[in-house]
Amino acid sequence: MLYAWIGIAILIFPLLLKVTAPYGKHAKSTWGPMINNRIGWFIMELPALLVFAIFFLKGVNKISVVSALFFILWVSHYCYRSIVFPLRIKTDKKKMPLLIVIFAICFNCINGFLNGYWFGNLSDVYALSRIWDVRFISGFVLFFSGFAIHHYHDQILILIRQDNPDAYQIPKGGLFRFISCPNFLGEIVEWAGFALLTWCLPAFSFFLWTFVNLVPRALDHHRWYKRKFENYPTDRKAIFPFLL
């Protein structure tokens, strides 16, 4: 299943580079019925939290200190994405296609299952000594670096929409000096760190899917900003500073 899931990610990447997902800045009503943006975010992100937690906690594996830490990292991210973030965004009047929400539910159920079932049933028991492994330490640093980058730049975007939710502005501050989507970069770094510290195929597959989803999305955002604002910084890249 994992090899097939990774193969699908590789095959779909060129398609995502050509098709702009119609939500957020790119929302379109041509994709069918629309629902409230905030409700859509909540519904489509929640399965990643619940499915992972169910299969992790109901599994036959004994929960070690290390695997409990993996659980906390995953749950912390998705509590933010499914509950905190939708409550904070200033998009009361915006909508997204129901079809996008359905696609995202399927996607998050698969990733939640693959990772939750792996840690709950198939993985080796992680000894406490694992925390001194260079992969664990470097992955832990990457995860929290990405987590901080993600949250900090989400905060910038939320604040600039606070006074006028219907108006877009050029984001400034932090890594916005170099790229259009540092929040996406933070999420990619975050899951690269998770894959490194857990050192397992399900986590790597999720990192790969995160990359495959967010890089095309960042390129779409970058092109949108350049069309929207004539004075958009010409030296700003899309997602990787000085590169892309």
What's the pLDDT score for residue 190? 97
Distance, in Å, from the CA atom of 216 to the CA atom of 125, rounded to the nearest integer, reads: 37
What's the pLDDT score for residue 21? 77
pTM score, whole prediction: 0.92
* CA triple 31-211-152, angle to 5 deg: 95
The CA-based dihedral angle spanning residues 4, 6, 8, 13, taken in that order and rounded to the nearest 10 degrees: -170
What's the pLDDT score for residue 37? 83
Q: pLDDT tens string for the chain (244 positions)?
A: 999 999 999 999 999 999 887 776 777 677 778 888 888 889 999 999 999 999 999 999 999 999 999 999 999 999 999 989 888 887 667 888 898 899 999 999 999 999 999 999 999 888 899 999 999 999 999 999 999 999 999 999 888 877 665 667 889 999 999 999 999 999 999 999 999 999 999 999 999 999 999 999 999 999 999 998 989 999 999 999 999 8
- The first and second tokens of residue 93, run together, are 């009047």
What's the pLDDT score for residue 184? 96
What's the pLDDT score for residue 196? 97
What's the pLDDT score for residue 33? 87
What's the pLDDT score for residue 164? 64
Distance, in Å, from the CA atom of 195 to the CA atom of 146, rounded to the nearest integer, reads: 13
What's the pLDDT score for residue 19? 84
